[in-house]
Amino acid sequence: MHIPDGYLSPQTCAAAYAVAVPTLAVASRRVSAVLRTKQVPLLAMFAAVSFLVMMFNVPIPDGTTAHAVGAAIIAIVLGPWAAVIAVSVALLFQALLFGDGGVLAYGANVVNMAILMPFVGYAGYRLIAGRSALTATRRVVAAGLAGFVGINAAGLATAIELGIQPDLFHTAAGAPLYSPYHLSQSIPAMALAHVIVAGPVEAVLTAGVFGYLVRANPSALAATHPGLSGEPSSSSTPSRAPGLLSPARVAVGFVVLLAALSPLGLLAPGGAFGENAPDDLPLADLGLDAIPAGMERYAGFWSHTLLGDYGFADGQNATLAYWVCAVLGIAIVGIAVYAAGRLFVWTTRGRSGRTPVQVHS
């Protein structure tokens, strides 16, 4: 994921520096305010750790290994602002000492791996962990998902930075000057690598380290988990802690995420694959003489739709009908997610009611 010099235009690099430098300034002010004279040794140690974590090879099932970035676990242990500085310093080592990642592209690498990844990872962790006890399995799962989401956010940002190059910067003859892959190629390529390999590796590392710290060294987590001990809270309702993650909030969050991601569809060229009605098939392009018999037979198999072709039955008010369809679709997805959430809460509450966890020191 380290972008070397030569893949990004100087303009892109300047834009990335314009984001990275102020963020680093804010990070150093916030960390200094909290830690005063302690910040230099602490950040130095964790920068070294961040560098070393990137060297650790995590075994994956096919017998090979892949390495993680570790920004998410550092954010969970130290907080996202400290992680910004620690990972930035580790990236600087790599750029200057090992030629891993460029000097002009350093800003972009910082934005992807040292800013986006810890913040997205930490937000994911806080959201999923809610107010559960430190020893809850839910927190380990939250840490793993934080690593997964964090590295995928970084991968997506990298893919977008690389993917906008060929359209923006090319010679008069059309030869791309920098990275030649378009968004429609760079995003799937990065997504494939990060969803299948890098994401799970990061998840395993983050969850593994978090689980180990909870078991063996919970004091290391004190900075970002104030007031949380290894025991569940001793109040009268210990297991009823939906916290940030109530079914309603999850449903709303899911719908907002869907709505926010839908413009990605506009970036994709061409139409939707495999969704043509038989009459719309470009038969000549496909080398066919007629619509395939089976397709013709089954195309009209189900025709009892409420809003066929995203319109009213009489074909009037097309725009209004399209909006009705959109709102209805979103509402149905939201309700389905809400129902799944209620079901999940109901089943888990039933189980925790049978085996109450009571640990007293």
Partner 1 sequence: MTARVLKPAPAWLVSSEQPIGPGRVGRRKRAAFLEKTLGDGAEVVRRAMYAESADPRGDRPGVLFRIDPRIKLVALVVLLLGVALVHTPVTLAVVYLGLVLLAWAGGVSVGAFVTRVWLFVPLFTAVALAPATLSVITPGEVLVPLWTWHGAQEGITSQGLTSAGLVILRVACSVSLVLLVTISTSWNRLLAALGALGVPRIFVMVIAMAYRYLFVLLGSVLDMVLARKARTVQPVAHTAGDRRFVGAAVGTLLGRAGHLSEEVHQAMTARGYAGQHHTLTGFRASGLDLLALAASLMVAVVIVGGDHLLR
Site for partner 1 in 137-176 (CB under 8 A): 166, 171-176
Q: How far is the CB of 150 from partner 1 (least distance, A)?
A: 16
305 binds partner 1 (CB under 8 A): no
Q: Mask 77-96, x = binds partner 1 (CB under 8 A)?
A: x-------x---xx-xx-xx
196 binds partner 1 (CB under 8 A): no
Q: Which range in 113-121, 207-215, 272-280, 326-334 contacts partner 1 by CB under 8 A?
A: 207-215
Q: Which is nearer to partner 1, 95 or 321 (CB)?
A: 95
DSSP code, position 196: I
Q: Stretches 24-32, 121-129, 251-259, 261-269: which one binds partner 1 (CB under 8 A)?
A: 24-32
How many Cβ atoms are within 10 Å of 166's Cβ, its own excluded?
Answer: 20
Nearer to partner 1, 37 or 303 (CB): 37
Q: Which is nearer to partner 1, 219 or 316 (CB)?
A: 219
Name which of 20, 12, 246, 196 is nearest 119 in CA terms.
20
DSSP state of 115: I
d(CA 47, CA 145): 23
Task: Considering only residues 264 through 303, tell me which ones interact with partner 1, judged by CB under 8 A.
Answer: 285
Q: Are 35 and 81 in contact (CB under 8 A)?
A: no
Q: For partner 1, which stretch binds (CB under 8 A), given 99-107, 246-254, 272-280, 315-323?
A: 99-107
Alpha-carbon span 122 to 87, nearest angstrom: 14
Q: Which stretch binds partner 1 (CB under 8 A): 1-9, 225-233, 294-302, 318-326?
A: 1-9
Which one of residues 110, 114, 157, 207 is an interface residue with partner 1 (CB under 8 A)?
A: 207
DSSP alpha helix (H) spans, the chain: 10-35, 39-53, 71-78, 80-97, 106-109, 117-129, 137-163, 165-168, 183-193, 199-216, 247-261, 264-267, 283-286, 293-299, 318-354
Q: How many CA within 13 A on the CB side of residue 355?
A: 2
Please name the residues in contact with 84: beta carbons below 8 A apart, sequence gap of 6 or more. 23, 24, 27, 114, 115, 118, 119
Q: Is residue 344 close enough to count as binding partner 1 by CB under 8 A?
A: no
Q: How far is the CB of 174 from partner 1 (least distance, A)?
A: 5
- The residue written with tokens 């007031």 in the block is 227
3-class DSSP state of 215: helix
Q: Which is nearer to partner 1, 111 or 204 (CB)?
A: 204
Residue pair 277/299 in contact (Cβ under 8 Å)? The answer is yes
Q: Count residues contacting partner 1 (CB under 8 A)?
A: 81
Q: Which of 160, 220, 258, 281 forms a contact with partner 1 (CB under 8 A)? A: 220
- 104: contact with partner 1 by CB under 8 A: yes
- Among 30, 138, 182, 225, the residue binding partner 1 under the rule CB under 8 A is 182
| Nearest-approach distance from CB 331 to partner 1, in angstroms | 40
Judged by CB under 8 A, which of 1, 16, 20, 47 binds partner 1? 47
Q: Are 156 and 185 in contact (CB under 8 A)?
A: no
**Hey, what are 34's tokens?**
């909290």
